[in-house]
Amino acid sequence: MPTLESVSYTDPLDLLRRFVPTPLKVEIHLELANVVMETNDLSFLPLLPHSTAGEISSTPCLWKIVRDVDVRGTTAEASILMAGNVIFYCMGPACLIGADRGRREILAFIGRDVDAHSFQQSILPALCRLTEFVTRPQDIAVPARTEVPAGDPRHA
């Protein structure tokens, strides 16, 4: 299969590359959710899981995967930061993934040196775990105010 070079993208007003065109689109049916993946790199498409499962949910999860040709290096050990309905998953500068539960979206920036093996062994499983996070029902809300007993040392 011929590989498609990632589209060169330079916009001085978009330093975070939030608006990189992702013209390639494919639907994926995972066990836990339907996914619509948009990307700017054809090399990711043959690496995706194939399933014949029917429709799972009416609202699919969006994966926007951007090949960032300006970032060198390979993946590293993962660091995870969570704040409310957002998770930021960092596997070094060559793999940054953000997942937003409220929007049911996952945005990933993959460096140019990340190969198919690294994508399948570490990035794809991370995308699937994050898909579970963004598609599962929200937890029951925690009460806004928590009472602290008067004798508690936290009472000052």
How far, CA to CA in Å, does 40 sit from each of 54, 67, 106, 116, 148?
Answer: 27, 6, 15, 15, 52
Q: What pTM, to 2 d.p., does this model score?
A: 0.74
Report angle CA 139, 142, 143 to the nearest 5 degrees: 150
Residues 125-139: tens digit of each pLDDT? 999 999 999 998 776
Task: Grade residue 50 by pLDDT with cuts at 50, 70 and 90.
Answer: low
Q: Return the minimum-mean-pLDDT range out of 32-41, 48-57, 123-132, 133-142.
A: 48-57
C-alpha 119/C-alpha 47 separation (Å) is 8
pLDDT band at 11 (very low <50, low <70, confident <90, very high): low
Strand partners, 38: 25, 64
3-state SS, one letter per residue, for 90-141: ECCCCEEEEEECCCCEEEEEEECCCCHHHHHHHHHHHHHHHHHHHHCCCCCC
Q: What six digits make up the tokens of 117?
A: 């093996």
What sign has the CA pseudo-torsion 41, 42, 45, 47?
Answer: negative
